């Protein structure tokens, strides 16, 4: 009985300190749909919580292929001059064939701002750019 009281007191202190015990255990990732239509991302601005698993459902409604690459400015600069014709081995780099959908799950450890861009020829210049804010 004494151990039960001690455990209850510790649990109560954790809750008072703002620590949620077991809230992420078995929790499903937050799902966000991003539609690609007329070579644009919709929505083109998103906000997610730091440390939260997010499943991005990328839905290409266009009759042409696209890609969804998310990262910082240095990441995108490398991809502007890259030679990969297909993505999918890394969860932040996805190819999305015409009239199809793909899913990827990411968890962002740091607050900040990233961009998601399609780097296929001419697509970024046409406006295939989105912003992800991590709080």
- Report which secondary-structure segment, H or E, holds 52: none
Please provide the DSSP assignment of 89-113 as one string. Answer: SBTTEEEE-TT-EEEEEEE--S-EE
The domain total for the chain is: 1
Q: Is the model's pLDDT at 26 over the cut of 60?
A: no
CATH number at residue 81: 2.60.40.420
Give the model's confidence band at 86: pLDDT under 50 very low, under 70 low, under 90 confident, else very high. confident
Place of tokens 């600069």: 77
User: pLDDT at position 81, please?
Assistant: 81
pLDDT exceeds cutoff 60 at 101: yes
Inside any domain, residue 126? yes
Would you say 57 and 32 are in contact if contact means Cβ atoms under 8 Å apart? Answer: yes
* Residue 91 covered by a domain: yes
Could you give the 3-state DSSP secondary structure of residue 134? strand
Does the pTM of the predicted model rise above 0.85? Answer: no
Query: What's the pLDDT tens digit per position in 30-81?
Result: 999 999 999 999 999 999 999 999 999 999 999 999 999 999 999 999 998 8
> Is 70 part of any domain?
yes
Domain that holds residue 126: 26-134
Task: Give domain status of residue 34, yes or no.
Answer: yes
């Amino acid at each position: 009985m004494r151990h039960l009281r001690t455990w209850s007191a510790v649990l109560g202190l954790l809750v008072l300190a703002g620590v949620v015990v077991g809230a992420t255990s078995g929790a499903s990732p937050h799902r966000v749909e991003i539609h690609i239509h007329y070579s644009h991302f919709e929505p083109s601005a998103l906000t997610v919580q730091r440390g939260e698993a997010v499943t991005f459902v990328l839905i290409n409604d266009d009759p042409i292929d696209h890609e969804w690459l998310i990262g910082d400015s240095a990441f995108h600069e490398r991809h502007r001059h890259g030679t990969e014709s297909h993505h999918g081995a890394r969860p932040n780099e996805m190819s999305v064939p015409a009239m199809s959908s793909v899913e990827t799950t990411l968890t962002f450890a740091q607050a900040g701002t990233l961009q998601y861009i399609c780097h296929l020829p001419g697509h970024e210049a046409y406006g295939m750019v989105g912003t992800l804010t991590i709080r």
